[in-house]
Amino acid sequence: MKKGKKPSSSAVTSSLIRKPIQRQFAIFLLPTFICFCIGFLWPFIQGIYLSLHSFTTVSNASYVGFANYAKAFADAGFRRAFGYTAEVAVVSLVLINVLAFFVAYALTRGIRGSNVYRGVFFIPNLIGGIVLGYIWKTIIDSVLPVSMSIRANYGFWGLIVVMCWQQVGYMMIIYIAGLNAVPEDMLEAAKIDGANGWKTLWHIILPNVMPSITICTFLSLTNGFKLYDQNLVLTNGAPVRRGVGMTEMLALNIAKTFTTANQRGVAQAKAVLFFILVTTISLIQLTATRRKELQQ
């Protein structure tokens, strides 16, 4: 990106530009703003409102206070989904990041054909969750003695495999950018001081790619928490024991709750809780990356 000689801050925005644009509000900002209201703002506000109501359609909502939230917390399926989602998110986070880091590390050592390998690792990231899930379901189910929807254990590891295949290439790209930014003189100094490969990796490279590690950790964590498509295709929550889907993740649990008409209020309350959870993770990420940037 080209940077101007004197970056114009909003304060110096001249009236020459500002006033005429402001007069064209209806052309520049209004269309996006209206769509934003329809596609996000209004549904969001209505969602919070409805989470405090019992309803089957929007028009027959009756106020119930926090009863929906109480029901959501009391729901065994929701609690199981929360634990299971956390488990999937953490296990996938560790595996994806370790694999992606070492692939990125190996591919920045200047080996022949590394650009091609990089391209190959990235491909799965372009495939959508539904198609990706279907491909792997066909393959995994034909390898295993029983289908993933019969043994929860298989469903769990199947999902992990799919997530790794999809996300390793993506995180690898971020790690490669981080690794390439490690100062050359530091590496040379380590070499002169006689540090071996592992020592250099541990004491020089890792501390320098910390910003990338933070970004990737949180990205894979939020990806894990928000996962829906792959979960739907691979097992759709099955097997079910005592009415509780053993491999059902939060997003799927919420979507399923919405399909039962008299549970919609509870579903919306679950959705609000889910939103708070995901937003909290994102906010922690934001402050964490901010602090890292300040240190540099």
Partner 1 sequence: MMQTTLKAKKPAAKGLEKQTTGKIITSIAFAVISLLWIMPIVIVLYNSFKTNSAVNTNVFALPNKESCVGFDNYVNGMTFGNYPFYYSAGYSVYITIVSTALILLCTSMAAWYVSRVNDTFSKVVYYLCIFSMVVPFQMVMYTLANTARTVHLDTPWTIPVIYLGFGAGLAVFMFVGFVKSIPIDIEEAAAIDGCGPLRTFFSVVFPMMKPTLISVGVLEIMWVWNDYLLPYLVLDATKYKTIPIHIQYLQGSYGRVDLGATMALIMLSLVPIIIFYLACQKHIIKGVAAGAVKG
Positions 152 through 211 that interact with partner 1 (CB under 8 A): 165, 170, 173-174, 176-178, 180-181, 184, 211
* Total residue length of the chain: 296
Q: What are phi and psi of 19, to 5 degrees?
A: -60, -50
Spatial contact of 160 and 92, defined as CB atoms under 8 Å apart: yes
Candidates 83, 128, 183, 207: give the one binding partner 1 (CB under 8 A).
Answer: 128
Q: How many CB atoms lie within 10 A of CB 226?
A: 15
> Which residue from 79, 91, 117, 240 is in contact with partner 1, where contact means CB under 8 A?
117
What residues pair up with 54 in beta bridges, in sequence order? Answer: 62
In the complex, minimum distance from the CB of residue 20 to partner 1, in angstroms, rounded to a whole number: 5
Window 235 to 254, contacts with partner 1 (CB under 8 A): 250-251, 254
* Near partner 1 in 55-94, by CB under 8 A: 58
Report how far apart, in Å, the C-alpha atoms of 52 and of each of 64, 71, 205, 218 are: 6, 12, 50, 31
Closest approach of partner 1 to the CB of residue 69, in Å = 14
Determine if the peptide bond prior to 239 is cis (ω within 30°). Answer: yes
Reduce the DSSP state of residue 53 to 3 states and report it.
strand
Packing angle, helices 152-180 and 114-122, rounded to 10: 140
Pick the closer one to partner 1 by CB: 5 or 242. 5
Measured CA to CA, the distance from residue 147 to residue 245 in angstroms comes to 15
* Nearer of residues 237 and 242 to partner 1, judged by Cβ: 237
> Are 217 and 233 a contacting pair, CB within 8 Å?
no
Min dist. Cβ of residue 125 to partner 1 (A): 7
| 2 versus 242: smaller Cβ distance to partner 1 | 2
Rg over CA atoms, the chain: 24
CB 168 within 8 A of CB 121: yes
- Which C-beta is closer to partner 1: that of 83 or that of 197? 197
- The least CB distance from residue 281 to partner 1, in Å, is 9
Choose between 163 and 271: whose C-beta lies nearer to partner 1.
271
Least Å from the CB of residue 139 to partner 1: 6
The conformation of residue 126, written as its DSSP 8-state character, comes to G
Helix (H, G, I), strand (E, B) or coil at 242: coil
CA 293 to CA 288: how far, in whole Å? 9
Please give the Cα distance from 268 to 239 (Å, whole number): 25
Shortest distance, position 123 Cβ to partner 1, whole Å: 6
Binding mask 259-278 for partner 1 (x = CB under 8 A): -----x--xx--xx-xx--x
Min dist. Cβ of residue 244 to partner 1 (A) = 19
Interface residue with partner 1, options 60, 62, 65, 142 (CB under 8 A) = 142
Site for partner 1 in 27-46 (CB under 8 A): 27-29, 31-33, 35-44, 46
> Strand 244-245 relative to strand 53-54: parallel, antiparallel, unpaired?
unpaired
Of residues 6-25, which lie at the interface with partner 1 (CB under 8 A)? 6-10, 12-14, 16-18, 20-25
Q: How far is CA 85 from the centre of its chain?
A: 12
Least CB distance to partner 1 at residue 213 (A): 13
Which CB sits closer to partner 1, 58 or 74?
58
Instruction: Please identify, among the stretches 62-70, 79-87, 89-97, 127-135, the one whose residues bind partner 1 according to the rule CB under 8 A.
Output: 127-135
